[in-house]
Amino acid sequence: MTFQELQLLPSILQAVEELGYERPSPIQAAAIPHVLAGRDLIGCAQTGTGKTAAFAIPILQRLQGRVGKGHKPVRALILTPTRELALQIQENFTQYGKYLPVRTAVIFGGVGQTPQVEALQAGADVLVATPGRLMDLYNQGHVSLTGLEIFVLDEADRMLDMGFIRDVRKIIGWLPKKRQTLLFSATMPQEIAELSQTLLREPVRVEVTPQSSTVDAIRQKLYRVEQADKKCLLQEVLQDKSLTSVLVFTNTKHRANQVAELLNSGGIAAMAIHGNKSQSARVLALGSFKAGTIRVLVATDIAARGIDVSGLPCVINYELPNVPETYVHRIGRTGRAGRPGLAISFCNREEEAYLRDIEKLIGKKIPVVRADGPSGREEIEKKVSEPKATPKPTPKPARAKEELSRAPGQKLKLEPLPPLRPLPPEPPKPRRALRSDPWVPGRVVASADGRRGKRRGRTPET
């Protein structure tokens, strides 16, 4: 399948080509014809599958015929749970619509509303919004939804997790009954399945890469490590200079701050991004990470939604999430658009149960690397496994003191950590052939509406 075969406008084809997209991703190939035909659609897909273009490209094509000066009411509304996602979606609309006269605006909370109101007053055909700010500006009379033609509910399951579903229902009540509706969700919890029944009319269902199948292009590694040794292990892993940009996940905001501070004190430029940070701090952290001025971004799950860094080589789970799907979401930040990726996870004794759930979900064991060397250092692993080479455990206080006294930029002295427990021999490393198709060959199902899936809890961001 090519983009030409999707009957797209030459101006969209040109924009897509300039972005270096060679062919539609499975969700794009499956969804675009239906959206162009005006059908309602449920897309079961997570970020990293190209789902934004799957709705943005056909929406732009549908809208472009009738835009112009003075056309004020919003014609397409994209409702998404986080500011980062909202910005990302707007950026995508701008990229794909580069040669079209379609105007987009984005509104989200945590910043002053004046520039957003001005953008709305200038006229926006496409409005990307988070629920809270949309409600604010709608109630103040700055947003008119009377001319709305297309409504997209993005990341519906996250809306539910983040407690936005009542706001979403309220917003839906403001929309004209006659419209096209698209709903995207990585999972299909009961509440979302029910919502979709009232929201959509005879929807087509398009599903790619089921939640449980971990993206194949991502190499996964696991370190078994005591909680107290995670700090040292992280610094050791980051000695690998090929890991140029690393997204580190923690389960809590507090831990995210701690880890970022630790890395900075060890000479590794890092910033934390989480829900307690101001919008400007989050933009700064993300911008610095994308620009490469910091090497490590430490994030909690909610703050990480919408982080799309092209070519991100590595994701580290400093802590394992208690919701197995969150693991799949996290590691999906690397290995995007077919690029190779590495996902490293640290697992302490208490997290063993989470690990079991994750392995059950992804349907395979995550290869274990010893806790005494960064991934890929088979040499060190071998040495340590020989009885003679077993290093003497370093007393922890001395190590901690060394960490604190090291000046920024000064290299961390590598002392191999003691093996934490006897490990079974490493399984043979699967050699992965390079794929010519950059997209994960996920199952793509397009059908009349159906439902499945069950709701799980979420990793708290405390």
What is the rounded distance in angstroms from the CA atom of residue 90 to the CA atom of residue 152? 13
Nearer Cβ to ligand AMP, position 63 or 208?
208
Helix 279-291 / helix 83-96 crossing angle, nearest 10 deg = 50
In one letter, which amino acid is 59? I
Which are the contacts of 459, defined by CB distance < 8 A and separation ≥ 6? Answer: 251, 301, 321, 322, 323, 326
Nearer Cβ to ligand AMP, position 49 or 220?
49
Q: Nearest distance from residue 401's CB to ligand AMP, in Å?
A: 43
Backbone phi and psi for residue 183, each to the nearest 5 degrees, phi listed first: -125, 125
User: Candidates 46-54, 194-202, 268-276, 399-407 — which segment interacts with ligand AMP by CB under 6 A?
Assistant: 46-54
Nearer Cβ to ligand AMP, position 17 or 352?
17
Q: Nearest distance from residue 336's CB to ligand AMP, in Å?
A: 5
Nearer Cβ to ligand AMP, position 221 or 329?
329
Count the residues of the shown chain that bind ligand AMP, applying the rule CB under 6 A.
Answer: 15
Residue 25 binds to ligand AMP (criterion: CB under 6 A): yes
Q: Nearest distance from residue 389's CB to ligand AMP, in Å?
A: 43
* Residue reference for tokens 């490990």: 423
Nearer Cβ to ligand AMP, position 95 or 276?
95
Residue 26 binds to ligand AMP (criterion: CB under 6 A): no
* 440-462 b/e (C-beta count within 10 Å ≥ 16 → b): bebebebeebeeebeebebbebe
Residue 308 binds to ligand AMP (criterion: CB under 6 A): yes
Q: Nearest distance from residue 212's CB to ligand AMP, in Å?
A: 18
User: Candidates 24-32, 97-105, 249-257, 380-388 — which segment interacts with ligand AMP by CB under 6 A?
Assistant: 24-32
Q: Nearest distance from residue 310's CB to ligand AMP, in Å?
A: 5
Which one, of 20, 87, 51, 81, lies nearest residue 286 by Cα?
A: 87
Q: Nearest distance from residue 47's CB to ligand AMP, in Å?
A: 4
Task: Check residue 355 and give left, alpha or beta (phi > 0: left; psi -120 to 50: alpha).
Answer: alpha
Site for ligand AMP (CB under 6 A): which residue of 50, 373, 376, 416?
A: 50
The separation between CA 152 and the C-alpha centre of its own chain, rounded to angstroms, equals: 18
Give me Rg for the CA atoms of the chain: 23
Q: Nearest distance from residue 334's CB to ligand AMP, in Å?
A: 12
Which are the contacts of 192, defined by CB distance < 8 A and separation ≥ 6? Answer: 156, 157, 160, 183, 185
Nearer Cβ to ligand AMP, position 85 or 188?
85
Site for ligand AMP (CB under 6 A): which residue of 6, 12, 42, 49?
A: 49
Residue 52 binds to ligand AMP (criterion: CB under 6 A): yes
Which are the contacts of 151, defined by CB distance < 8 A and separation ≥ 6? Answer: 76, 77, 79, 172, 175, 179, 180, 181, 182
β partners of residue 223: 346, 369
Binding mask 322-361 for ligand AMP (x = CB under 6 A): --------------xx------------------------
The separation between CA 39 and the C-alpha centre of its own chain, rounded to angstroms, equals: 27
User: Candidates 5-13, 43-51, 421-429, 445-453 — which segment interacts with ligand AMP by CB under 6 A?
Assistant: 43-51
Number of Cβ atoms within 10 Å of the Cβ of 163: 10
Residue 51 binds to ligand AMP (criterion: CB under 6 A): yes
Q: Which residues bind ligand AMP (CB under 6 A)?
A: 21, 24-25, 28, 47-53, 308, 310, 336-337
